[in-house]
Amino acid sequence: MSLPVLDAVHQLILAQAQPAMSFDLVHMWGTMGPFAKGIAGVLFIMMVYAFGMVAERMVTFSRAESASRLYAEQLKALLPAGKFGEAADLAQKLKRGHLCRVLGLAISEYEHGLHALSAKGPHDVGDFDVVAAVNRAVDRSSMRTVADLRRGLGGLATVGSTAPFVGLLGTVAGIITAFQAMAATGSGGLGSVSAGIAEALVTTAFGLLVAIPAVMFFNYLTNRVEDMQVDINDSANELMDFFMKEGRPEVAKAANK
């Protein structure tokens, strides 16, 4: 038997004796290099942060909407009766609501402004526009409230935008390691290349698995913040209209109907 034929038979025997490559996740994790494992660990931390932030924001938004709904219902009876102090105190009790924080400060500012106009102080500089003061209070509290509602959404957006690139970094490093091992051992072929690439692509798949839900939840939570911001603006404008007409005969007549 010629030498080339013997070599071919020898290679066939070695190929049959070699165990088949396993592509389950446990085996792939065992064959991944330290750098790829580190990338997977970073992606796991990003995933835990993203889902934890989503859960915290959803609970916060739910409580804010519930408290705001209750506060708006109570204001329908308190404002026409002129019970501004009770309305401000109720806002302090329901401080989790976004409407409570904005409208409560506006009502408190209005009450203090009326009191200041009716009294003279040692450093009194004269009359002032109460409605303008309330408008400034609404602007301050609105910006703070919206900023608090958006807290954590920037980090969620960062996870959604960077997780695929972090996974791709692990894939590139894994492919480089696979080709280096092939060059060092002298082995090649489709089986060796496909096995190394499959192991390297695990980090890319993990990155996409983290990024896709993060982007979806970021868009959902951002829309909820925008809806609450619209509620704040509408409610604040209605309250300012009430303050400008408060005490007028048509308001008192409408309240008595």
Q: State how many domains the chain has.
A: 1
The pLDDT tens digits of the residues spanning 8-24 come to 444 444 444 444 444 45
Distance of CA 239 to the CA centre of its chain: 30
190: pLDDT strictly greater than 90: no
Average pLDDT over residues 208-235: 94
Residue 24 inside a domain? The answer is no
Q: Does 230 map to a domain?
A: yes
- Domain presence at residue 165: yes
Say if 11 falls within a structural domain. Answer: no
pLDDT for 131: 82
Is 145 among the domain residues?
A: yes
Is residue 18, in this structure, part of any structural domain at all? no
The DSSP output letter for 2 is: -
Q: How far does the chain reach from its first CA to its final CA, in angstroms?
A: 113
At 113-130, the pLDDT tens digits run 877 777 666 555 556 678
Distance CA 202, CA 197 (A): 9
Tell me which residue range forms the domain holding 100. Answer: 31-256
Residue 1 located in a structural domain: no
Whether 42 maps to a domain, the answer reads: yes
pTM for the predicted model, two decimal places: 0.76
Give residues with Cβ within 8 angstroms of 70, minimum separation 6. 94, 97
Q: State what percent of residues in the chain have pLDDT above 90.
A: 35
Distance CA 52, CA 159 (A): 12
